[in-house]
Amino acid sequence: RAPDCTLVIFGGGGDLTKRLLVPSLYDLAAMDVLSRKFRIVVVDRTEMTPEAWSAHLFDEISAFAKDKAGEFAHGRLDKSVWQKMMKNVEFLAGDITEPEIYQRVAGSLGNDSAIFYFAVAAQFFGTILKSLGKAKLFEEDGFFRRVIIEKPFGHNLASAKALNKVALAHAREDQIYRIDHFFGKEAVQSMMAIRFANTLFEPLWRQEYIDHVQITAAETIGVEKRGKFYEGTGALRDMVPNHLFVLLSITGMAPPSSLAAEVVRSEKTRLLDAIRPIKVKDFVVAQYRAGKIGGEKRLAYRSEPNVDPKSDVETYAALKLHIDNWRWAGVPFYLRTGKRLAARKTEVAVVFKKTPYQLFKQGSADSMPNVIRFQLDPIRGLAMHFMVKEPGLEEVATPVQNTFRYDDFFKSRANVGYEALLYDCMHGDQMLFQSAATIEAGWAALEGVNPPKNRKLCFYAAGDQGPKEADQLLERDGRSWLPLI
């Protein structure tokens, strides 16, 4: 069970609270792991009673859970679980840019342990951090005070450094939890277990045997109602230094000597620090035009609500990078992410070299005989591609695939993705959170291509595999992307 604590939500009326935070808290309540004294303090501009806030969220989340059938860990919302989670809510209406609200938060907390959660636009992160500091809300005396900061953590190296500086001027590193929901995905967490709890993989996990790695986060959704946010962010900043680099660091890190947060985090940072600065020639940005997905017509990005009709913001980014260390020298990592693509797929594919000598006739022209695919979303599992002899009289080798699926093997349902992260924060475990150094190493690698605005913008139709320029990025190395299906 988690220790006693109060969760202070800045921006309790926002989208993030509804989509991720409260559904995950609900799952923790359903697992009965929240402390009996668990309390929520909501800070928001618009005045509401705690009852109205709770009732509004109940309705919204019920509708949302229905839409996303299967994604909600406990199916239909159970009123008694909900009430248990919401039994102690306080609502403080006020302006987060004014000192007064922080005095009221301090008054409400007294000597309670607390987690401050920022569910507001990134431009307010610095202001809230400073104000919490000035109101002495990070001071601990037999109780803890922690802060969870959402992505995007800065928009380039300088801004991330500046935000880290503000945070560290008011709180210690061990009080700061920089969250990335990809770390909350069960199948992402399991990548470490697959790599380091088996003998099978680690001996092969190096340049002698691996040809290249493909990291994909492809979505079929467009920008939905987030045009305003997306216009100021774009695919590179929204996905690459955070989500894709989370996958990159888990794929490429050296085995840590323990699961202590500082040990694991420093291995991840070491990996990101070894990325050779990415060059413009290895970088593609593109935007979706109108098209069709699953037979349904989809608008062009420029026709989406709150998007400039002449926008040059990218909805797709692909890049090739190199990691300059002993293990990965000469192994390219190809990363791609985009909206409105042919299929939803989050995956890391580790493609092995061909055998040094071809003993068998090849049954198909498959150029990737051995691939290990960490399937992260929406399918969660591990697929291995290897060659077998094709039945028949000839000595022909042909590729087959063996797949493990979490949902076939384990009874537990999919979770929202924040449960483990919130629970770990309550317990003071930072292993699944980003350190200041990890964040800065990620942005540093991208300095040569960020901002992406002065790059040539390419285009793809909604429902495509991506722009042809991203295919060329691999073709020029004699390789190709695994198809999005």
Interacting residues with ligand BG6 (CB under 6 A): 181, 219, 238, 346, 377
Nearest approach in angstroms of CB 234 to ligand BG6 is 10
In terms of Cα–Cα distance, which of 208, 445, 204, 452 is closest to 320?
445
148: three-class secondary structure by DSSP: strand
Strand partners, 296: 293
- Among 155, 243, 322, 385, the active-site one is 243
262 is in an annotated binding site: no
Closer Cβ to ligand BG6, 39 or 243, answer by number: 243
Q: Which residues contact 224 (CB under 8 A, 6 or more apart)?
A: none
Nearest approach in angstroms of CB 346 to ligand BG6 is 5
The residue with its CB nearest to ligand BG6 is 238
181 is in an annotated binding site: yes
Please name the helix (run of DSSP H) or strand (run of DSSP E) that holds residue 128, with its range, or none. helix 125-134
385 noted as active-site residue: no
Closer Cβ to ligand BG6, 377 or 419, answer by number: 377
Closer Cβ to ligand BG6, 170 or 243, answer by number: 243
Query: How far is 253 from 258, CA to CA, in rounded Å?
Result: 13
188: three-class secondary structure by DSSP: helix
Closer Cβ to ligand BG6, 384 or 482, answer by number: 482
Nearest approach in angstroms of CB 380 to ligand BG6 is 12
Q: Is the dihedral of CA 234, 238, 241, 244 positive or negative?
A: negative
Nearest approach in angstroms of CB 66 to ligand BG6 is 18
Nearest approach in angstroms of CB 242 to ligand BG6 is 7
Nearest approach in angstroms of CB 181 to ligand BG6 is 6
151 is in an annotated binding site: yes
Closer Cβ to ligand BG6, 227 or 332, answer by number: 227
Q: Which residues contact 62 (CB under 8 A, 6 or more apart)?
A: 76, 77
Query: How far is 237 from 239, CA to CA, in rounded Å?
Result: 6
185 is in an annotated binding site: yes
424 is in an annotated binding site: no
Closer Cβ to ligand BG6, 238 or 304, answer by number: 238
Contact 269, 435 (CB under 8 A): yes
Secondary-structure breakdown of the chain: helix, strand, coil percentages, each rounded to the nearest 5: 35, 20, 40
- Buried-state track 39-59, b at ≥16 Cβ within 10 A, e below 16: bbbbbbeeebebeebbeebbe
Chain centroid, CA 88 distance in Å: 30
95 is in an annotated binding site: yes
Looking at residue 297, its amino acid is K
Residue with tokens 């992160």: 125
Please name the helix (run of DSSP H) or strand (run of DSSP E) that holds residue 469, with its range, or none. helix 468-475
Strand partners, 402: 384
87 is in an annotated binding site: no
12 to 64, 89, 152: CA distances (angstroms): 17, 11, 18
Active site residues per annotation: 243
Residues tagged in the binding site annotation for NADP(+) = 45, 95-96, 151
Binding region for substrate: 181, 185, 219, 238, 339
